[in-house]
Amino acid sequence: MLGQAFQATRKGGRTITVGLPDPARELTIPALSLVAEERQLMGSYMGSCVPKRDIPRFMRLYAEGKLQVDVLNSRFINLEQVNEGFDALAQGEVARQIIKFNLL
């Protein structure tokens, strides 16, 4: 899929990867397109977040209603359901889940 995204990138454009690929997977792209078409391929780990800077900003945006993260959550699960949660994630049944901790 990353190769297809790179091929679809316009001249002078940038393709940014998100998520972690299979460690054994290799990517083959035409080397000439990097130079002649001035395309860029860039990795992004965890959104390239700087927690000390970004988390307070995200919290403020969420509190102001400008960052709608609730729509990203597929469901809430309890800690006891974590294995089922991983299974559902692996099978593509959910996108995101939030674990609710029942504190005494």
71 alpha carbon, distance to own chain's centre: 15
Contact 97, 85 (CB under 8 A): yes
Share of the chain above pLDDT 70, in %: 97
CB count in 10 Å sphere of residue 62: 13
> Stretch 14-35: mean pLDDT, rounded?
84
Average pLDDT, the chain: 87
Greater pLDDT, 50 or 75: 75
pLDDT for residue 65:
92
Q: Provide mean pLDDT across the span 17-45.
A: 85
What integer pLDDT is reported at residue 56 of this predicted model? 93
Q: How does residue 104 score in pLDDT terms, banded at 50, 70 and 90?
A: low
- Determine if the pTM surpasses 0.75: no
**From start to end of 1-101, where are the E strands?**
14-16, 40-42, 75-78, 97-100
* Mean pLDDT along residues 63-78: 88
User: Which residues are bridge partners to 18 per DSSP?
Assistant: none
- Region 37-52: mean pLDDT is 84
